[in-house]
Amino acid sequence: MGQLGDRIGVLTVILETEFVKALSVVLDHGLDAVEAACAEALEAGIASGDVILAVLTRRRQPAMPPSISTPDALRLTAASH
């Protein structure tokens, strides 16, 4: 039983560390954002503090602007000599 107790102790420390990572960003990102990031990580099956932080960072990045098509009148063409 001692070996099982040791393993449970190690797992508890790991879980506590991951939980602290997630909670440490609540003030910066807000509880709703952290909760959504946790849910996304759990759905992906990779719920760790680092993954939750990565999700939050990705969500804070501005959306990519839409592409702008170049009108034909402004396209460069090869000049023939």
The DSSP secondary-structure symbol of 32 reads H
Q: Output the pLDDT for position 49.
A: 85
Closest by CA to 36, choosing from 14, 11, 59, 13, is 59
In the predicted model, is pLDDT for residue 81 greater than 70? no
Q: Report the alpha-carbon distance of residue 50 to residue 24 in Å, rounded.
A: 12
Query: Is pLDDT above 80 for 11?
Result: no
Mean pLDDT to the nearest integer, 7-36: 80
Residue-wise pLDDT tens digits, 24-73? 888 888 889 988 988 888 888 887 888 889 999 998 888 888 888 888 88
- Residue 64 pLDDT: 81
